[in-house]
Amino acid sequence: QVRLVESGGGSVQDGGSLKLSCAASGYDNKNWCMAWFRQAPGKEREGVVAIDNEGRLSYGESMKARFTISKDSVSNILYLQMNNVKPEDTAMYYCAARANYQPSWRLTCSVVPPHPDFDFWGQGTQVTVSS
């Protein structure tokens, strides 16, 4: 049974930094695809960034400059480093993973719509940026 548990959210001031964590259990596939999404109140969920076991990245629109994804394969924790945060980054941040992911020449570990569905989701961690 796959379980994803996010942590690290909180309140931060405009221009500050925050690092989110996602502890994954039951998800130790050789081939894997994991991502961060976010959803602000009244808005649709949007993809932040995805990474696969080959280290290939997929960023959501305007996310690349300030967000960095990484994964510690020993501890099986996915991270999201957020720098120079802005009030518009205020949202619930979710960790997600794909089941039965197979890397191919075409990047399918993606957060850019239309992208394949992510099968496993965490409960989310709230990030609030104040000006």
Q: What is the model's pLDDT at position 115?
A: 87
Strand-strand pairing, 46-52 and 57-59? antiparallel
pLDDT above 90 for 104:
no
Q: How many residues does the structure list for the chain? A: 131
In tens, the pLDDT along 16-32 reads: 999 999 999 999 889 99
CA 100 from centroid of its chain's CA atoms = 18
DSSP-derived letter for residue 116 is: P
**pLDDT tens digits along 32-75:** 999 999 999 999 999 999 999 999 999 998 888 999 999 999 99
Mean pLDDT for the chain overall: 95
Q: Specify the 3-state DSSP secondary structure of 131.
A: coil
